[in-house]
Structure 1
Amino acid sequence: MSYDLAVWEGERPADDKTAGRVFDDLYDRLMETETDEPPTERIRDYVAGLLERWCDLTEDDDTSPWSTGPLIGEARGSLIYFPMRWSMAEEASGFAAGLARSMGLVCFDPQLNKLRPQRPRSVRHQHRMQRRLCLGGVDREAFGVSGADVVDRGVGGDPE
């Protein structure tokens, strides 16, 4: 069993649904064809970065997370769609997604139909979620009350 990732050149899609459509189009155009379009320079550089971290399967099938070798053989044009061993997928896919982002490439998980890594939430959104967690789901700003008011009204628990 393997875990697959797709990485491609281009602008990062606005959401997961759009990314799924872009991936399907690229896959059909580049992978489901009789012609083997050579990988672009950026995709070759990306594969080189992956292979700096872990060797190719053709070099060592015990320590390599890749399920196929040579890894560059999974690349066509501006897309690489590559499998990795399930037992190493969490670590390897995390590294692969981070490397893609650092190189300005798009990384997509076709199993979950999700972009990787996910865009970080805004700081304001994170603070709002932290308040909700700390107050048992109550958002002070939404109710126009201070922290002391929440405790005094019994929403936040016993003040003692």
Structure 2
Amino acid sequence: MSYDLAVWAGPSPADDAAALEVFEGLYDRFMRGEGQSPTPRIRQYVEGLVTRWPDLGDDDEDEDASPWSDSPLINNASGPLFYFGMVFSKYQEAAEFAADLARSSGLVCSDPQDRRLIT
């Protein structure tokens, strides 16, 4: 089981329903099919995440220490959208860090599973 977050570059939606609508539109446009290279802001955001917790297999640490559900994390980014999963047993700390990093980076963070905007 995993916990997923979506982070994207763009204006902050007005509410949870608007965030879900924006996410679904971005997902359909950027994650289906071939995808695109991540934008510089999204790439920088992902680099911030893997600085905190490296991609699986990137170092000698036990893979159980990483919260990421797959690797390399950058493969979950396309254009202005980054949609990624965390293992459920470690998601709380990682999701809090990811949301804080998104806020400080001027990015939008949403939980599509719970259909809520993370502010």
CA distance in 2, matches of 1:58, 1:99: 23
TM-score (norm 2): 0.94
Q: Which amino acid aligns with 1:14?
A: A
Partner amino acid for 1:25? G
Rounded Cα–Cα distance in structure 1 between residues aligned with 2:115 and 2:91:
16
Q: Distance in 2 between matches of 1:7 and 1:58?
A: 24
The size of the alignment, in residue pairs, is 116
Deviation at 1:109, TM superposition (A): 0.2
TM-score, normalised via structure 1 length: 0.70
Instruction: Find the counterpart in structure 2 of residue 109 from structure 1.
Output: 111
Gaps of 5+ in 2: none
- Match of 1:55, SS state, is coil
1:31 aligned partner, one-letter code: M
| Residue matched to 1:55 | 54
| Structure 1: runs of 5 or more not aligned | 118-160
Structure 2 residue identity aligned to 1:45: Q
1:45 matched to 2:47? The reply is no
- What percentage of aligned pairs have identical amino acids? 57
- Name the counterpart of 2:95: 93
8 Å CA contact 1:55–1:63 kept in 2: the answer is: no
Q: CA RMSD in A?
A: 0.9
| Structure in which a larger fraction of residues adopt strand | 2
Distance in 1 of aligned mates of 2:85 and 2:53:
14
Q: Which has the higher contact order (CA 8 A, sep 6+)?
A: 2
Cα separation, partners in 2 of 1:58 and 1:36, compared to 1, 3 Å: farther
